[in-house]
Amino acid sequence: MSLKLYRPNPDGDLEPSPVEGRDYRRQLRSRRWKAAALANPDTQRTNPWITVFLVALILGGTFAVLVLGYWSGFWH
């Protein structure tokens, strides 16, 4: 339940205030603010296969260190 707000008009009567949209994001934005472009010309796109290979290499190295640590008794 909500309370309707009435504002006086020039005739002295009361009229309901206009209904505002329920989108809260409109209240957060400034009319003067414009987002900057996200493009960065100084960077180069990395080949996805190189990224997958590097992540797999890091995971494999971590797994090898853990297995060797437990096998040698370092973490017992």
pLDDT at 68: 94
Strands in the chain per DSSP E: 6-8, 14-16
- Comparing 18 with 67, the larger pLDDT belongs to 67
Query: Within 13 A of 11's CA, how many CA atoms are on the CB side?
Result: 3
pLDDT at 44: 86
Query: Within 13 A of 22's CA, how many CA atoms are on the CB side?
Result: 0
pLDDT, tens only, 2-60: 566 777 777 877 777 666 656 666 667 666 777 677 787 788 888 999 999 999 999 99
Rounded mean pLDDT, 60-76: 92
> Are the C-beta atoms of residues 63 and 57 closer than 8 Å to each other?
no
